[in-house]
Structure 1
Amino acid sequence: MNESIRVILLDDHPLVLEGIHNRLQLEPDIEVVASYTDPLLLLEDMPQLQADVIIIDASMPHMTGFELSTKLKELESFSMKIIMLSGYMYNVLIQKAFQIGINAYISKQSPYEEILYTIRQVALGCNLLSPSRPTNPLKQEQLSAIEREVLRRIAEEKNNRQVAYELAISMRTVEHHIISINQKLGVKSRGSAVAKGYELGLLGPVS
């Protein structure tokens, strides 16, 4: 390959982003043309961006990597290859990624050599799965039935008042359930809870 592979990075963790950026810059055939921590800013800049590959974090504030990839695929001029990095390698997520048209779905725990290999192969037109992906979903810290119902409605972008009305409970009870959901899933926001819920298969197939 005579020309460098142009890469865009998106990860809401600055230290992770910097680490990947610095490592990729050491490769003579790879050029990082832009880095983002906010998917909304990337979408705003997309008409002016030119790259071969975009690497997207699966779990981010504002929107998930799945939602962003869907929006990118809907852009008429979008032709970049998409690599998604995720901490959760479950079949339902991998299947959804390829339904959307994502070109590779690999673990965040992958060594840099695997990431570099994936970038080069995807740039050549190949679709890849992580060779080390587990097949059994995590079973720890399951949500209760009512917590699942609350989470499902949050995923439908309903506010606390709407959730309380539909489940015939008080808003304070809804707030307590959301706190419990966040604690069990190890997150700090509604959006992150929804993303983690999909990643863990708690919300069923990603829609």
Structure 2
Amino acid sequence: MTESISVVVVDDDALVRAGLGLILGGAPEVRVVGDAGDGDDGVALVRRERPDVVLMDIRMPRVDGIEATRQIVALEGGTSRVIVLTTFDTDDMVVQALRAGAAGFLLKDTPPDRLVAAVRAAAAGEPTLSPSVTAQLIERVSGSGRAAADDAGRRAARRRLGTLTDREREVAVVLARGLSNAEIAAELYLGVPTVKTHVSRILDKLGAANRVQAAIAVHDAGGASS
């Protein structure tokens, strides 16, 4: 029997919350354990329920999705993965949310089957961004608020990358292209469980909340040549 995936939905639009609840409720292994209408209530709900995945709107009253994401990622012992919801994939607030620790993003018009697939992927620690989107976001995030070529930033990124073993660095470079664990395993001729172990250690050593942040660190360090 497949282990269930618990989900919390945070959106200020009641119709969106209801719609997402219906879609996710149709997947036998997904349980919507609660919903909230703003970020403040969403953080409180996540703190109480400790869901596997949080679907988080960005623009909300009181506490927006960016700050709520930051607080959820910072929860002591928290393992909830946040997927931000947006209307436009070029939204600069998506970039801010990813920097705050969101694991990925979905457009609000994402087809139901892809929405469920994204929730499954997030729960499994897999990326919820395509390689092409990952590359675009890394470029934007690296250039947002500081220059990617900044010497101090590059040296710091290289120091973090230097804590990795040779194999972990090899995995990190491939991870930075947005590949899933299965794709990394195929490219490097490793088992998927081995890749999962490496990815977990990479995130821990780089101090990254998610794969996007790890990819940014690799990018800032200049890849495997550091």
TM-score with structure 1 length normalisation?
0.58
Distance of aligned partners of 1:98 and 1:108 in 2 relative to their CA distance in 1, 3 Å threshold? same
> What is the Cα deviation at residue 99 of structure 1?
2.1
1:78 aligns with 2:75: no
Report the aligned-residue RMSD.
Answer: 2.5
The C-alpha deviation readout for 1:127-181, integer Å capped at 9, x for no partner, is 2226897xx9xxxxxxxxxxxxxxxxxxxxxxxxxxxxxxxxxxxxxxxxxxxxx
Q: Which residue of 2 aligns with 1:90?
A: 90
Whole-angstrom CA distance in 2 between matches of 1:28 and 1:129: 24
Q: CA deviation at 1:16?
A: 1.0
Unaligned segments of structure 2, at least 5 residues: 137-226
Contact 2:53–2:123, Cα closer than 8 Å, also in 1: yes
What are the ranges of 5 or more consecutive residues in structure 1 without an aligned counterpart?
137-207
Q: Which amino acid aligns with 1:113?
A: D
Amino acid at match of 2:20: I
Q: What is the total number of aligned residue pairs between the two structures?
A: 135
Counterpart residue type for residue 7 of structure 1 = V
| Whole-angstrom distance in 2 between the partners of 1:95 and 1:43 | 20
1:127 is matched by which residue type in structure 2?
P
In the other structure, the counterpart of 1:196 is none
Higher Cα Rg, which structure: 1
- Contact 1:25 1:31 survives alignment (8 Å): yes
Name the TM-score, length of structure 2 as normaliser.
Answer: 0.54
SS state of the match for residue 128, structure 1?
coil
Q: Which amino acid aligns with 1:27?
A: A
Instruction: Calculate percent identity across the aligned residue pairs.
Output: 28
Question: Measured at CA, do residues 72 and 3 of structure 1 come closer, stay the same or move farther in structure 2, by a change above 3 Å?
Answer: same
Aligned to 1:17: 17
Kept in 2: contact 1:53–1:81 (CA 8 A): yes
Query: 1:79: Cα distance to partner?
Result: 1.1
Q: 1:22 is aligned with what amino acid?
A: L
Distance in 2 (CA, whole Å) between partners of 1:96 and 1:43 is: 18
Residue 40 of structure 1, CA deviation = 1.6
Give 2:106's aligned residue.
106
Higher helix proportion (structure 1 or 2): 2
Which residue of structure 2 lines up, in the alignment, with residue 29 of structure 1? 29
